[in-house]
């Protein structure tokens, strides 16, 4: 996993969620006593039925919205880590080409165009969009738009990448390719990733830990370590071990939704 050198930035990607409650103004208890410690460089997925507070948790980590109680500490508590957020909707500017869309965060930060050129091109290359620099969003497929959205996050050089069902609207083949490419990027960039998904296979394939959440009130009910080495090649998807973890996550999800034990036979 991460081979970041031991220095003062060592824990910039860590996230500590302690006894967090979130009650919306209409009285909905979105999260109750949520506790979760995420280490620097981990790839964590949050899975759970709709309404169990996954997006709320992600938004609170990003500092979007107020907690009703509890604390969220990012990094080592000293230097603030850089955060990037990727949503299911690529949310690109339709009137701007790929370069301009990717450059947006740097433009907003006041970085001159000339100075940002190499960073933007690097990000475009890293997400596999070399040659599409001057294309407009309407000329791109759903998967390519998502790649632009990831490149836009990349240029900010984040320590923590928050991803809210980024591939949920894509077909299976495209999702699968983006999953592999995302893992490669994660290994190169040493991000800490918190990834929300409904897809159990995606969660197991990507993550070193899968966090299962239950609704009403939203809370963590299982924390499953996926003990399989990286890099994970595509044959990991069809491996016995991957299948067993998927069954375990599925059983924990069934329990979370119904309150009854799911089928766990054969699960290590």
Question: Based on CB atoms, which residue is closest to ligand ADP, 59 or 107?
Answer: 59
Give the residue among 84, 104, 88 at the shortest CA–CA distance from 154.
Answer: 84
Task: Point out which span in 45-53, 125-133, 141-149, 260-268 binds ligand ADP (CB under 6 A).
Answer: 45-53
Tell me the site size for ligand ADP, rule CB under 6 A.
Answer: 13
Q: What is the DSSP string of 212-259?
A: EEETTTTEEEEEEE---PSSP-GGGTTSHHHHHHHHHHHHHHHHHHHS
H or E stretch covering 40: none
3-state secondary structure of 65: coil
Question: Based on CB atoms, which residue is closest to ligand ADP, 91 or 241?
Answer: 91
Least Cβ distance, residue 56 to ligand ADP (angstroms) = 3
Residue 32 near ligand ADP by CB under 6 A: no
Residues 201-220 that bind ligand ADP (CB under 6 A): 218
Task: Point out which span in 6-14, 53-61, 103-111, 112-120 binds ligand ADP (CB under 6 A).
Answer: 53-61
Cα separation, 68 vs 159, in Å, equals 26
Residue 66 near ligand ADP by CB under 6 A: no
Question: Based on CB atoms, which residue is closest to ligand ADP, 221 or 228?
Answer: 221
Task: Point out which span in 1-9, 52-60, 141-149, 254-262 binds ligand ADP (CB under 6 A).
Answer: 52-60
CA distances from 184 to 15, 144, 241 (A): 22, 17, 21
Residue 30 near ligand ADP by CB under 6 A: yes
List, in order, residues 6 or more apart from 2 with CB less than 8 Å away: 40, 41, 190
Question: Based on CB atoms, which residue is closest to ligand ADP, 39 or 51?
Answer: 51
Question: Based on CB atoms, which residue is closest to ligand ADP, 63 or 77?
Answer: 63
Residue 252 near ligand ADP by CB under 6 A: no
Task: Point out which span in 26-34, 66-74, 92-100, 150-158 binds ligand ADP (CB under 6 A).
Answer: 26-34
35: how many CB neighbours lie within 10 A of its CB?
A: 13
Residue 139 per-residue DSSP state: G
Q: Which of 15, 52, 203, 226 binds ligand ADP (CB under 6 A)?
A: 52
Q: What is the DSSP string of 162-225?
A: EEESTTTTS-HHHHHHHHHHHHHHHHHH--EEEEE-S-HHHHHHH-SEEEEEETTTTEEEEEEE
CA distances from 129 to 97, 113, 122, 154 (A): 12, 20, 10, 13
Residue 52 per-residue DSSP state: S
Residue 53 near ligand ADP by CB under 6 A: yes
Question: Based on CB atoms, which residue is closest to ligand ADP, 50 or 78?
Answer: 50
Least Cβ distance, residue 34 to ligand ADP (angstroms) = 11
Q: Which residues of the shown chain bind ligand ADP in the complex (CB under 6 A)?
A: 24, 26, 28, 30, 48, 50-56, 218
């Amino acid at each position: 996993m991460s081979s970041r050198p031991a220095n003062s930035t060592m824990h910039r990607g860590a996230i500590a969620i302690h006894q967090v409650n979130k009650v919306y103004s209409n009285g909905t208890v979105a999260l109750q006593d949520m506790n979760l410690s995420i280490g620097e460089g981990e790839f964590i997925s949050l899975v759970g039925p709709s309404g169990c507070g996954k997006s709320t948790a992600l938004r609170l980590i990003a500092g979007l919205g107020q907690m009703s109680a509890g604390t969220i500490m990012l990094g080592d508590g000293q230097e603030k880590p850089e955060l990037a957020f990727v949503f299911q909707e690529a949310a690109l500017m339709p009137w701007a080409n790929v370069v301009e869309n990717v450059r947006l965060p740097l433009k907003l930060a006041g970085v001159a165009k000339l100075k940002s050129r190499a960073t933007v091109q690097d990000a475009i290359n890293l997400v596999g969009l070399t040659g599409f620099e001057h294309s407009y969003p309407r000329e791109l497929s759903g998967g390519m738009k998502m790649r632009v959205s990831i490149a836009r996050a990349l240029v900010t050089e984040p320590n923590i990448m928050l991803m809210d069902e980024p591939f949920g609207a894509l077909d299976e083949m495209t999702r699968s390719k983006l999953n592999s490419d995302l893992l490669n990027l994660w290994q190169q960039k040493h991000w800490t990733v918190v990834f929300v998904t409904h897809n159990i296979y995606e969660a197991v394939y990507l993550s070193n830990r899968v966090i299962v959440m239950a609704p009403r009130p939203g809370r963590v009910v299982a924390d499953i370590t996926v003990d399989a080495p990286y890099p994970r090649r595509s044959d990991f998807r069809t491996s016995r071990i991957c299948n067993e973890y998927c069954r375990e996550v599925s059983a924990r999800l069934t329990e979370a939704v119904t309150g009854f034990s799911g089928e766990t036979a054969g699960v290590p």
